[in-house]
Amino acid sequence: MQSIDEIVQIISSHLSIFEDASTRERPAKRRAMEAVKRETLHVKNRADASTAAIQLLKRLEGSLFMCSNSAIESVREQTVDILKSKLTPAKIPVKTGELFMDVMDVAGNDPYSEIQKQCAILIVLYAKDQPKSVDYACEKMVRLVLPMLLHKHTAVRVKGIKAMEAVLTASPKGLHLLFEYNEQLDRQPVVPALIYDNSALVRDNLFIVLGSLLCSWSPRDRYQYGERILPIILSGTLDDLPSVQSTCKASLSNVGRICTQDLLDADIIKEMPADDNQVITTGLKHLVHMCYDHSVVYLLQGITEFITVKQETGLDSLKLFLEYASVDDLVKSMKKLAHYLFIAYANHTESTTEDKIYDILSLILKQLPSPEIYLDAILPRLDSKSLAAETNGYPGTVTARVVLAFLTHFVNTVTITDSIRQRILAVINRSYLTEYIKKEKLDDLRSAIA
């Protein structure tokens, strides 16, 4: 059996030709790379295969990185192949890990799409075999995936989603990079943009992977990082294609079951509900409660979109989210909900958007312990100082119009008590309001609550 030194010497003699990174001597370079692959494959059959592979990579770091920058596509592709074949579950030195990441960085940005697909496969294998290394360099690993998630070819984006799953399974700590606006590149958050990807295959894989991540993480990670993922999965249940909707609903159901199991394991519930739908609902209510503060802000920002299709998707997602919200969460966030729904209504251009806003208001009113909590959130907007100073960010006439619309919907939805009637009349009877809204509209509201 050849020693590692002998194998390194043979491989190095073949790799020397790649000191010239140009396309010259293409046939010779192709033969050299094939010889290198043959020699590295011999290591696989050794009794000490893992140790030998690590030693080989350690000794050939510089030469292999040089090959990854070759002007010849096949050389770059075979370099990735060689690294894939040398991966091992055994712990690798830091420098060797850096070699893998450096090659992934180059390959992930390669102009040749086949090399990018191979890079995604390499990332998947690396994340599975070296989870501690991925955890140590979690943000760097996520950045390596970004070029594939943004690629123009569907097949590369799908591979990128698989690579993203492998990285985040090993360590979710870099997840935030996929949800942040890149000011330097003026790039919108990557994962939220994939909701609207032109390819159903990409969207389908995205929702499968996000659901799988929520199910595979530990309870601690599930609720810490689920606050970003949950709104994305909810939006997927509203996809234009029924097949994607079904995929997403199945993912959401699996997440609900896992979260209910968490409650059982933590002795918060004593037994699993007998009905599967109840199991799913119980788990999703728990997840929404644990993720509420961050997720609701994300969803509320989505309903202020100026693009109608995105705004309406945001409204539908918010409604679905609030269906699982606890009373306590709704009460504490009522002013925030009212503020964003006010903005959405003030900016809307389509009647369908208006209907969706009213549907959310109806849902909130149905769940609140007292409708007066709703009045606490909207009536102060009609104060004279607030209207004159335009503290809501809109002209006083717009503010008055929106609040009046919300009040009209309110009185047509809830049972009007004397207390509610007196509170509303005390506000709309203020003389200055006729400066902002027609007297006839105020009279109509008075008649509605008479």
Measured CA to CA in angstroms, residue 106 lies from 67, 101, 120, 426 at distances of 11, 9, 12, 68
List, in order, residues 6 or more apart from 424 with CB less than 8 Å away.
375, 379, 407, 411, 445, 449
Q: What residue ranges in 96-255 does DSSP mark as E strands?
A: none
128 and 116 Cβ atoms separated by less than 8 Å: no
H helical segments located in 150-218: 154-170, 190-194, 200-216
Tens-place pLDDT, residues 9-18: 888 888 889 8
Residue 28 Cα to chain centre, angstroms: 46
> pLDDT band at residue 390, thresholds of 50, 70 and 90?
confident
- Indicate the range of 89-93, 262-266, 269-273 predicted with least confidence: 89-93
With 0-12 / 13-18 / 19 or more C-beta atoms within 10 angstroms meaning exposed / middle / buried, residue 186 is: exposed
Does residue 1 sit in helix, strand or coil?
Answer: coil
223 and 291 Cβ atoms separated by less than 8 Å: yes
Does residue 214 sit in helix, strand or coil?
Answer: helix
103 and 118 Cβ atoms separated by less than 8 Å: no
pLDDT confidence of residue 403: 96
Average pLDDT, the chain: 92
> pLDDT band at residue 82, thresholds of 50, 70 and 90?
confident
190 and 178 Cβ atoms separated by less than 8 Å: yes
What is the rounded CA–CA span in Å between residue 230 and residue 213? Answer: 11
What is the rounded CA–CA span in Å between residue 298 and residue 292? Answer: 10
Measured CA to CA in angstroms, residue 169 lies from 212, 252, 353, 417, 436 at distances of 9, 18, 38, 54, 55
What's the rounded mean pLDDT across residues 157-172? 97
pLDDT confidence of residue 450: 80
* pTM of the predicted structure, to 2 decimals: 0.87
Tens-place pLDDT, residues 361-371: 999 999 999 99
Residue 354 Cα to chain centre, angstroms: 27
pLDDT confidence of residue 161: 98
> pLDDT band at residue 93, thresholds of 50, 70 and 90?
confident
Indicate if the pLDDT at residue 129 is higher than 90.
yes
Does residue 198 sit in helix, strand or coil?
Answer: coil
pLDDT confidence of residue 81: 86
pLDDT confidence of residue 367: 96
Quote the tokens at residue 4.
């590692």
Indicate if the pLDDT at residue 196 is higher than 80.
yes
Superfamily of segment(s) 1-171? Leucine-rich Repeat Variant (1.25.10.10)
> pLDDT band at residue 194, thresholds of 50, 70 and 90?
very high
What is the rounded CA–CA span in Å between residue 342 and residue 433? Answer: 18
At residue 273, what are phi and psi to the nearest 5 degrees? Answer: -55, 145
pLDDT confidence of residue 384: 93
- Indicate the range of 81-90, 294-303, 313-322, 363-372 predicted with least confidence: 81-90
What is the rounded CA–CA span in Å between residue 99 and residue 104? Answer: 8
Give the closest residue to 191 by CA, choosing from 142, 124, 119, 121.
142
> pLDDT band at residue 36, thresholds of 50, 70 and 90?
confident
What is the rounded CA–CA span in Å between residue 398 and residue 425? Answer: 20
Tell me what percent of the residues of the chain surpass a pLDDT of 70.
100
More confident site: 82 or 226: 226
What's the rounded mean pLDDT across residues 401-405? 96
> pLDDT band at residue 335, thresholds of 50, 70 and 90?
very high
What's the rounded mean pLDDT across residues 68-82? 89
What is the rounded CA–CA span in Å between residue 272 and residue 279? Answer: 7
DSSP letter at 380? G
Tell me what percent of the residues of the chain surpass a pLDDT of 90.
73
pLDDT confidence of residue 106: 92
CA angle 238, 239, 242 (to 5 degrees): 100
